[in-house]
Structure 1
Amino acid sequence: MKKTVHVVGAVIENDAQQILCAQRSPSMSLANLWEFPGGKIEAGETPQQALKREIMEELDCVIDVGDKVEDTTYEYENVIVRLETYKAKITEGAPIAKEHAQLIWKKRIELPALEWAAADIPAVEQLTK
């Protein structure tokens, strides 16, 4: 039986109505695909707490977590991923790619042009409706 992983992703929007997109590094699984930054929910954490911790670890930023965007379960070859995405705003710091290959800001209409990890696609579709 495949392992199920519960993860969270931040849909971080700036004042110019652009959304932060993170490219997975070549050494990660799903290498070079795009995703919303975030990560695994640890035992005892709420999705919001996990998202704040992960964004601090990955991007060196403090965020406020807003409304849920999407809740998706996707079955990859080796793992089942449940991804909850939330709107977020940076309250302190500027994003630094500590784990990702690169970070870029894109307008909603530009999001579908990137090659997204499968679990992130429903959130992209939700944002570009």
Structure 2
Amino acid sequence: MEKITYTFIVAGVVIKQDDKYLLVQENRPGTEVNGLWNFPAGKVEEGDSIEQTAIKEAKEEVGYDVDLIRKIDIFQAHSNTPPKHAFEAKIVGGKLDWPKNEIMDARWFTWQEIQEMKESLRSEWIIGAVSILESI
């Protein structure tokens, strides 16, 4: 039996607009995730709910105020990785902007483009969450 080695939960938003999904490119020099694409997401802090974290991360990482539409699913690749809660979200305010010290870039991608850039994605949860939304 594998031991659990994580002690946190991740929450993120899947923002779709005009048939494209918003992803952010990680700016973490010296780490294996530097330059990889991800949803706006982050660790749930003590005292915050999973939903509050998802909303907060959208604002902090891409500058948008969002409303959560629904929880898409919970993704966990292995027992030694944190569970990732993905929420479908819609933009209700703000403008696209990101902290350059954390995010290299933020761009809109089609489902086809996301499938073709699998090696450049931080985690399988991106493919999983978008494929669920595409099937609805």
Shorter-chain-normalised TM-score: which range? 0.7 to 0.9
* Residue equivalent to 1:88: 89
* Residue equivalent to 1:125: 131
Distance 1:41 1:34 in 2: 20
* Residue equivalent to 1:19: 21
Q: Indicate the RMSD between aligned Cα atoms, in angstroms.
A: 2.1
Distance 2:11 2:56 in 1: 11
Number of equivalences:
126
Contact 2:60 2:98 in 1 (8 A): no
Question: Which structure dedicates a bigger proportion of its chain to strand?
Answer: 1
Give ranges in structure 1 of 5+ residues lacking alignment. Answer: none
Within the candidate set 48, 54, 58, 1:45 is matched to 48
Which letter maps to 1:122?
A: G
CA 1:84–1:34: 2 relative to 1, 3 Å: same
Deviates more, 1:88-97 or 1:109-118: 109-118
Give ranges in structure 2 of 5+ residues lacking alignment. Answer: none
Q: TM-score with structure 2 length normalisation?
A: 0.79
Percent identity of equivalent pairs: 25
Q: Which has the larger radius of gyration?
A: 2
Q: TM-score with structure 1 length normalisation?
A: 0.83
